[in-house]
Structure 1
Amino acid sequence: MRLPTKGEPLIPQRIVLASAAGLVSALLLGACGSSNDNASGTSPGSAAPAASDPATSAPAAGGNSSSGNMAVTAMVRAKAMKGMGSVVTDDKGMTLYRYGKDRPAPSKWTCAGSCTQTWMPVIVDDSVQASGVEKSLLGTVHRNGMKQLALAGWPLYRYVGDTKAGLMNGQDKDKEWYAITPSGNSVMTD
């Protein structure tokens, strides 16, 4: 190895080029890993039925942990809301919503990126318990390596503006977001 002459950089060009190539490769691989994994459940084209993602077993350990802005839910239940009828809430009593731009059959989520800062996908482990919600209507949609809970095929979300149990501040937002009933219908307002 020779010593650099006056004016030559101290780091050989090969190392700089190799480092740059490695950085570009890492960025490209990272972009590939964050692809829009919007495949549905375990059967192509539909939400995973409760039989393939049992809704009757106990919640997995750590069922209330969080993954970024997506808290893991262990239970859903029907709750009567004044003037709204029965809506579905999570294990903390937070109202769950469906998005009008999503599709129930096949289950497909469209809220991504900054949308998930306001509308947080309801993530579940391997199973979720249900009270007052038909278990056969529960399923999941794959979302970037996680399972998003779906009801009657509709992917479910929480609204960031619901700061405590029993609130429905996300109801009728942008004429696209509605609380969901135990049968999977949206709660429509006058």
Structure 2
Amino acid sequence: MNKQLSVGLAVLALAASLTACGGGSGTTPTTAAPATTTASPATTASESAMATATETAVVDLKTASSSAGNIVVDGKGMSVYYFTKDVKDSGKSNCIGDCLVAWPPVITTNDTPKVEGVTGKVGTITTADGKKQVTVDGMPVYLWEKDKAPGDVTGQGVGNVWYLVAPDGTMIK
């Protein structure tokens, strides 16, 4: 039993020693190297993130073909909807509280939303939390939480108040 305990302690001591050595030699190069290595990848990652953000921000709305015809979609291809309880050119959304959970607004970071193929007048209103919600022909636009992939149009006609947006800004009923 003493022999097993001695062997066990020796293995433990060896493991501790190797861990200490690994940590010691890893620490010195890691401190020196990351300054160079981390700076370059961080810049690259930052540039990549900016490029992605720029690419995302480049197109806020575009058009796509769907089972309901040609519709407006967001930059990721998700279907965009009107809420008939909103009032055109009122500068506000009537979708509040739980409504916004199910129907999140299409948000932009651009003062002037970027569009491809949308001929309706595109603008923004300010949401209650200070973000810029995209509008088409003076009506705020939204996404539907149950649309899971580009091309889904499961929000069409929900509650007889949610309808897809046509590229010219008309409501598809």
TM-score of the aligned structures, taking structure 1 as reference length: 0.58
Between the aligned partners of 1:142 and 1:64, the Cα distance in structure 2 is 23
Report the CA distance between 1:155 and its aligned residue.
0.2
Is the 2:113–2:124 Cα contact (8 Å) retained in structure 1?
no
Identity %: 30
Between the aligned partners of 1:174 and 1:73, the Cα distance in structure 2 is 33
Structure with more helix by fraction = 2
Between the aligned partners of 1:115 and 1:103, the Cα distance in structure 2 is 16
Query: Which residue in the other structure is 1:62 paired with?
Result: 53
User: Counterpart amino acid of 2:88?
Assistant: P
Structure with more strand by fraction = 1
Runs of 4+ in 1 over 6 A off after TM superposition: none
Query: Which residue in the other structure is 1:175 paired with?
Result: 160
Is the 2:92–2:126 Cα contact (8 Å) retained in structure 1?
no
Count the aligned residue pairs.
122
Report the CA distance between 1:169 and its aligned residue.
0.5
Query: Which residue in the other structure is 1:156 paired with?
Result: 141
**The structure with more radius of gyration:** 2
Between the aligned partners of 2:79 and 2:99, the Cα distance in structure 1 is 17
Report the CA distance between 1:141 and its aligned residue.
0.6
TM-score of the aligned structures, taking structure 2 as reference length: 0.64
Query: Which residue in the other structure is 1:117 paired with?
Result: 101
Between the aligned partners of 1:177 and 1:73, the Cα distance in structure 2 is 27
What RMSD over aligned residues (CA atoms) do the two structures have, in Å?
2.4
In the alignment, structure 1 segments of 5+ residues that lack a partner are 1-58, 66-71
> Residue 138 of structure 1: which of 114, 122, 140 is its match?
122
Between the aligned partners of 1:110 and 1:64, the Cα distance in structure 2 is 30
**Which gives a bigger RCO, structure 1 or 2 (Cα 8 Å, sep 6+)?**
1
